[in-house]
Structure 1
Amino acid sequence: MADTLFYSPSIRQNSQLPEKESQHCVKVLRMREGDELTVTDGKGFFYECTLTQASPRQCMVSIQNSIQKPKGWNYNLRIAFAPTKQMERNEWFVEKAVEIGIDTITPILCRFSERKEIKNERLEKIAVAAMKQSQQAYLSKIEELTGFKEIISCPFNGKKYIAHCYDLPKEPLSQLHKKGEDAFILIGPEGDFSREEIEDAIAAGFEPVTLSESRLRTETASLVAIHTIHVINNLQ
């Protein structure tokens, strides 16, 4: 596979690369007609292609071969986090989460949330870039900002956890989670979830967990949670 990966979600139906990908192909990489390149649809496939038309606005390719690539983990991993006030920290988290491996990221609005709105378009672009950089064939889903009560009522066929810092009964995620289980984890804002939110989540089937002896920032806690699930599943 080529070192540079291109993204075109409709590559099977449309041999034209998106304009941004075309610009990168021609202006940055200086690729020409006849050059070989690899494209992913973000749905589990790599496509080995030949560049048939090279233009900054419209690159056309011919698919020579398609390769289905496993996701890298055989469980569903979803995280819902309360975005921080500083947008660059949210963007950093999304980038690293996609690189490590995540199915769905949902920004949530909590009682003590610092940020009340978030632009998904920017986060989606970062997710695409991280997928390409880490040579993955699956694009993580970035959902719209969702209210806390709505998120805890979402159906999920797997284990559900809520991480918090209160001195209340809880178990380490590393000891509670079992290999092969789907996981849905809630991470609160810098001011943590409210006690009422924790009670509501527990009533909805979420198990309270701790991630560390230290008090972690929101984006750090989110990454620790994702990494913990992957480590458990990679153990023999």
Structure 2
Amino acid sequence: MHLFYTPDIAPAHPQYFLSEEESKHAIRVLRLEAGDEVQLIDGRGGFYNAVIHDAHPKRTILNITSVTPEFNKRNHYLHIAVAPTKNIERLEWFLEKATEIGIDEISLIITQRSERKEAKVDRLNKIITAAIKQSLKAYHPILNDAVKFNQLLALPFDGQKFIAHCEPGDRLDLRKVIDPQGRYLILIGPEGDFSPAEIELALESGFKPITLGEARLRTETAALEACFEVNFLNRL
């Protein structure tokens, strides 16, 4: 299966022109020819079957043969807000694996103990795009620009809100408090964890404290664990 990401495709149009980059990859690298079948995803849930009409290395023309809307649409919405890791490759690893497992939105948050204050969203989005093609996902997760922790808390969210932290005190087991087929926003802190003041501010903003187990996890591992648990619980 040869899959291409085509976010600008129009569902009702019978033809589509691949971009120069994708055309070059299809014709020069994959050696595709006129008459070969390919698949397209638009990042909005659309999955397309198509046939190459004109195998041009700069502007390949495709004939759309069928469209499947809401392809493999999941039964819940997961938004994880995570502090960017000092080693950006660890954040990239999380984005790749979370996309493959299933996630809808990611926010990068700058906290009091954050070691990294910014991240190149364009590069990170390319990693997400590669992951949706790898895992046959028709929905492209939203990646938001980095914002300060208090700014994230002030944004409206219609669903359950959780903060995972390692400070002493009562924390809930995510498996026991999650509402099936719901909407979830989970906060994951930096390597040094959220500060006590940030935790208190989150609780005052309606977030419930949760634990992701007894082990002390790295930031990207905790974020992926939360992603896995939410997806697993919604498959039961």
The normalised TM-score by structure 1 is 0.95
Determine if contact 1:47/1:66 at 8 Å carries over to the other structure: yes
Question: Which position in structure 1 is the counterpart of 2:159?
Answer: 158
Match of 1:205 in 2: 206
Aligned length: 233
Equivalent in the alignment of 2:33: 32
Q: Is the 8 A contact 1:4 1:132 kept in 2?
A: no
**Unaligned runs of at least 5 residues, structure 2:** none
Q: Match of 2:29, as an amino acid? A: V
Show the 5 A alignment for 1:1-236.
3-12=1-10, 15-235=16-236
Give, in whole Å, the separation in 2 of the partners of 1:17 and 1:118.
29
Instruction: Single out whichever of 116-125 and 56-65 deviates more from structure 2.
Output: 56-65
Shift >4 Å, 4+ stretches: none
After TM superposition, give the deviation of residue 19 of structure 1 in Å. 2.5
Q: Identify the range of structure 1 (165-174 vs 92-101) with the bigger mean alpha-carbon deviation.
A: 165-174
- Using the TM superposition, name which of 54-63 and 196-205 deviates more: 54-63
Deviations 1:126-183 (A, max 9, x none): 1111001101111111111111011111111110000001112211212221212211
CA contact (8 A) 1:82 1:113 kept: yes
Comparing 153-162 and 175-184, the one that deviates more: 175-184
Q: CA–CA distance in 2 between the matches of 1:158 and 1:203?
A: 16
Give, in angstroms, the shift of residue 71 of structure 1.
4.0
TM-score (norm 2): 0.95
Q: Which runs of 5+ in 1 are unaligned?
A: none
2:46–2:67 contact (8 Å) kept in structure 1: yes
CA distance in 1, matches of 2:143, 2:72: 17
Q: What secondary structure, in the 3-state scheme, does the structure 2 residue paired with 1:66 have? A: strand
CA distance, structure 2, for counterparts of residue 122 and residue 41 of structure 1: 19
- Point out the more displaced range, 158-167 or 174-183: 174-183
Identity of aligned residues (%): 45
How far 1:77 sits from its partner (Å)?
A: 0.7
What is the root-mean-square deviation in Å for CA atoms of aligned residues?
A: 1.3
